[in-house]
Structure 1
Amino acid sequence: MSKYERLIIYPLLFLALFSALTGVNIVSATQQVWDRIVAREVVIVNDEGQEVAVLKYDQEKENPSLELFNNAGHRVVSLLAYADGGAVGIFNQDGHLTAAIQNEENAGALLIYNGTREMKKLVGLRAGLYGGVVEINNAQGLPTGIMGNNAANNGYIGLFKGELLGFLHPQIMLNVGEDGPTIQTAK
């Protein structure tokens, strides 16, 4: 063996011997399956090291969440768990909320938002006191129309001014009661 071969072979032999004695894997080509992983946060990154998914437990809110991110680093999907139930949030490419499926008062709700920083709710589909309810809101997030079920298990439609106090008094109310349909208008 030549002098140059010894300069390569001996260090490699010492490195292999050291690794074998200490249990250090220099190269591991085997796949490992874990029965359980315990962590407060798991972060998945792409080839550039950018976060694309985060599974974590929020100490302040005492809730777990799963967040998915786009290539620009903006959150696009959130799965949340909280004391009253769970929620799925869908965000646009700028990271603003556009839709949510969530628990509200022990029933389901589908909410559509304007996709801006102000997060104004434009449409709500939810379970109400007597059945399903559809709520339509204006650009300010204030109710302008509502359709649902009344206490007689019949339908109603209400149209409102689109202002906070206007929601208390409908401008037009179409209601189907036990005696038939009624139309009420604001005075």
Structure 2
Amino acid sequence: MSKLERFIIYPLLFVSLFCSLTGVNILKASQEVLDRVVTRELVVIDDQGNAIATLRKETNPEGGIQENGSILKLYSDNGKDTASFGAFSGGGGMTLLSEYTPDRIDLSTSEIGLISLKSGFDETELQLTEDSIHMKNAEGHSAVTINSIRGFGRIDVYNEKNTRVVSLDSFRGGGSLDVYNEQGAFVVSLDSFGGDGSLSVNDRGGKLMANLNAYDGGSLSLYNPKGGERASLYVNTNDHAGLWLYDKYGEESRAYTFY
């Protein structure tokens, strides 16, 4: 073989070998069943070449499932990411997005098992866990929480400053409704315990000022800011009534009563 022939034939052999390793196998891949595919990213396209699904590892994925994990994303006809499925350390998750609104649904199987529904219009969010429901405002602060604590229920309501202002509880033998001021001080309590009801009113600092209860016939007591009882009105179990008045020191009193 002459030197000129080698310059012609050898390059053709290299081109043929390259085609056998690349182009031919790519064409056959659509016709054969492969036992294993190794790739950093898998992209599925439609007849027009548009991506309809991708599978890859991501950090800070837009789907919102988890910051690190393997993510499968599905795309709409308009190319918008509308569904994401992820696997990450501690569990897995799914995110569903609306194509036309900012609304979204997040589900994750982490340690707390979170389900999150978010409205894109007012940016409010609803989160569900195994034993609680959290409704959050646009700032991400709690607006309402519903909890199951040791088999009993509780509802907490918060103001725009993320301060709890109302609590509704159930417990063994009764329930209670508590109201708080903006400083978080307990100011009103309505209780039912042992079949009898009671109402307590506190000042803005949380000190008891008045108490009304139905125990043993019923009573109404008034207190000064130092916690001293200054007036009491009682009805005993014999239906007799009594009135007690105390001086500001609590040392002297006057009573008007029947026995």
Tell me the TM-score normalized by structure 1. 0.70
Give the 3 Å change call, closer, same or farther, for CA 95–68 of structure 1 in structure 2.
Answer: farther
Other-structure match for 1:181: 175
Within 5 Å, give how 1:3-152 maps onto structure 2: 31-58=31-58, 63-94=69-100, 96=102, 98-104=104-110, 106-115=111-120, 120-127=123-130, 132-151=131-150
The alpha-carbon deviation at position 121 of structure 1 amounts to 4.9
Distance across 1 between alignment mates of 2:30 and 2:158: 65
In structure 2, give the amino acid aligned to 1:145: V
Give the 3 Å change call, closer, same or farther, for CA 30–124 of structure 1 in structure 2.
Answer: closer
Is the 1:65–1:79 contact (alpha carbons within 8 Å) kept by the matching residues of 2? Answer: yes
The alpha-carbon deviation at position 103 of structure 1 amounts to 2.8
What do the CA deviations read for 1:86-127 (whole angstroms, capped 9, x no partner)? 1100111158461000134x13111011236x9x45111112
| CA radius of gyration, larger in | 2
The alpha-carbon deviation at position 62 of structure 1 amounts to 5.2
Distance across 2 between alignment mates of 1:103 and 1:71: 29
Give the 3 Å change call, closer, same or farther, for CA 67–97 of structure 1 in structure 2.
Answer: farther
Root-mean-square deviation (CA, aligned residues, Å) is 3.0
Aligned length: 155
Is the 1:111–1:121 contact (alpha carbons within 8 Å) kept by the matching residues of 2? Answer: no
The alpha-carbon deviation at position 29 of structure 1 amounts to 11
Other-structure match for 2:166: 172
Is the 1:78–1:88 contact (alpha carbons within 8 Å) kept by the matching residues of 2? Answer: yes
Bigger relative contact order (CA 8 A; separation at least 6): 1
Tell me the TM-score normalized by structure 2. 0.52
Unaligned runs of 5+ in 2: 1-15, 61-66, 181-186, 188-259
Unaligned runs of 5+ in 1: 1-17
What do the CA deviations read for 1:17-65 (whole angstroms, capped 9, x no partner)? x9xxx7958x869831112111111101112211110011237865211
